[in-house]
A and B are shown apart, each in its own frame.
Chain A
């Protein structure tokens, strides 16, 4: 098939609170059985509030965290059990862009060298060839050649994010996990970085897993969007379809929170009561039932399955 990535029943549980003998008493079920796939050249948006498990999902896919259960299939290979060494070959095709460009660059390494290092690790032996590639990458992300010799602190936040993007592109990846790539940037800079990511995606035919809590940016960037709540995917659909016709009560509330800044954007606000329950003890049955105004008896007893409701639209709710 044309899937670059397929994730099956992925779980990531963190043990917390060990007792005297080191036995785990509680686990945080950060990601609790999700299925998703990304096609070649596709952008999949992953939205949800903090603590819903979206970043953990991204990191587990990259095997920066070891999954508790489930399968990660990347370009037809099951990488779930790959060793660190085996993963190195995978990282040629799969890269990550973090939220915080301040924390993800070594302050003592010049921008050019930070990128060159990646090429070195990935066995580009010839120095001249490496230098040439770094120059090319700098060009691609809109940085000037004289900036190769600067240190991270000499750049602004937006430019630093450009360096991080250049570094991720160095090995010609096919899939990039973008974890809140514009969240730390000012509004006037966000558009520059969003445009850069879009341009690169089109030009290089990249696939993105685009993780963000900014619904407008996700809508703009994504072909399809998955909505996460408390470790589960509650709805996936093509971006237009999801934003025009959200079916899950949580998606409906989440999308109604988008503030209208232009005429014609006004939506009826759905204000949810209460807060997200703890992922240590998620509610039985449907995880959203404690805040759902449509909750029925069945919702606390049986967990709804992700149901196909036509096209590429799936929803996890007893109402549908």
Chain B
């Protein structure tokens, strides 16, 4: 296996609310190799975005609190760094593309200024050079008339264009890791295809690693090398994209894939559903997180949390694979 550039070990993040402690991320571990794309997939509230924000050290604390875990970036634990040290890494070595380009861009600064800022901060580039590089970056993400766009404000651009600007800003310093949190969710499908193509193309150009976070299994299937499926704060299945999608092992992964209609199906055949609802993160105190919705639940699942078990090419948290 290739050398890991990022290693997350047993990460646990709690949210301390008035009189409740919500374990949003509970024992998440994974590694990211150089040049690899890892898909992080799960439904709302499963902890995928919190994981990303913790890596970026952008989580507001309090209410959030890191209970446990380590995040190693090239051997250094990001969680032990000072804010100043982290600022040197953020944007330069690890960059993030957010879901909503409108709320992530500053409405009162020009596009050019927002992209140059990264370059001025991290590479001590003179203002004029930084602006020129910004135009170059905009060209790279195929924005027409970049010389004009650098002087414009975010509201003058369409959603797809704004997302390109975000990508241009994220890539300006050629980061080693790009964390993309639902980068196309707010966009139309034809624009989504453009953006995903662009991310992939740029990735191979600067050989970055990507963490692609999405609730959309289709997107994850398309861009990832490896996939981690999250449920209620945990990774429940982990493996290469082919094995996870063609022979899913965890009942949750299976259920998710079956819940999506096959393109050749019609309504004469009932869709498989996952019964019940996603539990609150603090609802299930013991046993498997999926026990309330699982069709294969047995006694052991109720009481004891399953460890990761190697099944074929996948790592699965499910007791059903231990008895065999």
- Taking Cβ atoms with an 8 Å cutoff, the residues of A that contact B are 43, 49-50, 156, 158-159, 186-192, 194-195, 198, 201-202, 213, 215-217, 219-221, 239-240, 243, 253-254, 257-263, 265, 269, 271-273, 275-276
B16 within 8 A of A: no
A260 CB contacts on chain B under 8 angstroms? 218, 221-222
How far in angstroms is the closest Cβ of chain B from A81? 35
| Residue among A188, A219, A260, A263 with most chain B CB within 10 A | A188
Contact between chains at A217 and B261 (CB < 8 Å):
yes
Contact between chains at A261 and B271 (CB < 8 Å):
no
6 residue pairs A–B, Cβ–Cβ below 8 Å: A194-B261, A195-B271, A213-B189, A257-B192, A265-B262, A269-B197
B190 CB contacts on chain A under 8 angstroms? 49, 253-254, 257, 271-272, 276
Cα A261 to Cα B222 with chains together (Å): 8
Contact between chains at A263 and B246 (CB < 8 Å):
yes
Cα A216 to Cα B216 with chains together (Å): 12
B285 within 8 A of A: no
How far in angstroms is the closest Cβ of chain A from B272? 7
Contact between chains at A259 and B278 (CB < 8 Å):
no
How far in angstroms is the closest Cβ of chain A from B53? 20
Cα A262 to Cα B192 with chains together (Å): 20
User: Knowing A260-B218, A261-B217, A272-B194 touch, does A191 contact B259 (C-beta < 8 A)?
Assistant: yes
B263 CB contacts on chain A under 8 angstroms? 216, 219, 243, 258, 265
A158 CB contacts on chain B under 8 angstroms? 277
B161 CB contacts on chain A under 8 angstroms? 275
Cα A95 to Cα B189 with chains together (Å): 29
Cα A254 to Cα B190 with chains together (Å): 6
Contact between chains at A220 and B271 (CB < 8 Å):
yes
How far in angstroms is the closest Cβ of chain A from B32? 22
B158 CB contacts on chain A under 8 angstroms? 275
Contact between chains at B43 and A187 (CB < 8 Å):
yes
B188 within 8 A of A: yes
| Residue among A191, A215, A272 with most chain B CB within 10 A | A191
Of A191, A254, A259, which contacts B271 at CB under 8 A? A191
Quick one: CB contact mask for B246-264 with A, threshold 8 Å, 1 for yes? 1000000001110111110
B20 CB contacts on chain A under 8 angstroms? none
B148 within 8 A of A: no
Cα A243 to Cα B44 with chains together (Å): 30
How far in angstroms is the closest Cβ of chain A from B183? 14
Contact between chains at B260 and A221 (CB < 8 Å):
no
B270 within 8 A of A: yes
Contact between chains at A271 and B218 (CB < 8 Å):
no
How far in angstroms is the closest Cβ of chain A from B219? 6
Closest to A194 in B: B271
Quick one: CB contact mask for B31-67 with A, threshold 8 Å, 1 for yes? 0000000000001100000000000000000000000
Cα A33 to Cα B51 with chains together (Å): 48
Q: 12 more A-B contacts (CB under 8 A) besides A187-B256, A188-B256, A201-B267?
A: A158-B277, A188-B273, A188-B274, A191-B274, A216-B261, A216-B263, A219-B263, A219-B266, A220-B267, A220-B271, A258-B263, A271-B190
Cα A243 to Cα B256 with chains together (Å): 23
B193 within 8 A of A: yes
How far in angstroms is the closest Cβ of chain B from A166? 18
B30 within 8 A of A: no
B22 CB contacts on chain A under 8 angstroms? none
B222 CB contacts on chain A under 8 angstroms? 259-260
Contact between chains at A254 and B189 (CB < 8 Å):
yes
Contact between chains at B191 and A275 (CB < 8 Å):
yes
B278 CB contacts on chain A under 8 angstroms? 156, 186, 188-189
Cα A201 to Cα B194 with chains together (Å): 37
Closest to B44 in A: A186
How far in angstroms is the closest Cβ of chain A from B273? 4
Closest to A278 in B: B158
User: Knowing A216-B260, A220-B265, A261-B217 touch, does A192 contact B273 (C-beta < 8 A)?
Assistant: yes
Contact between chains at A186 and B266 (CB < 8 Å):
no
Cα A273 to Cα B143 with chains together (Å): 11
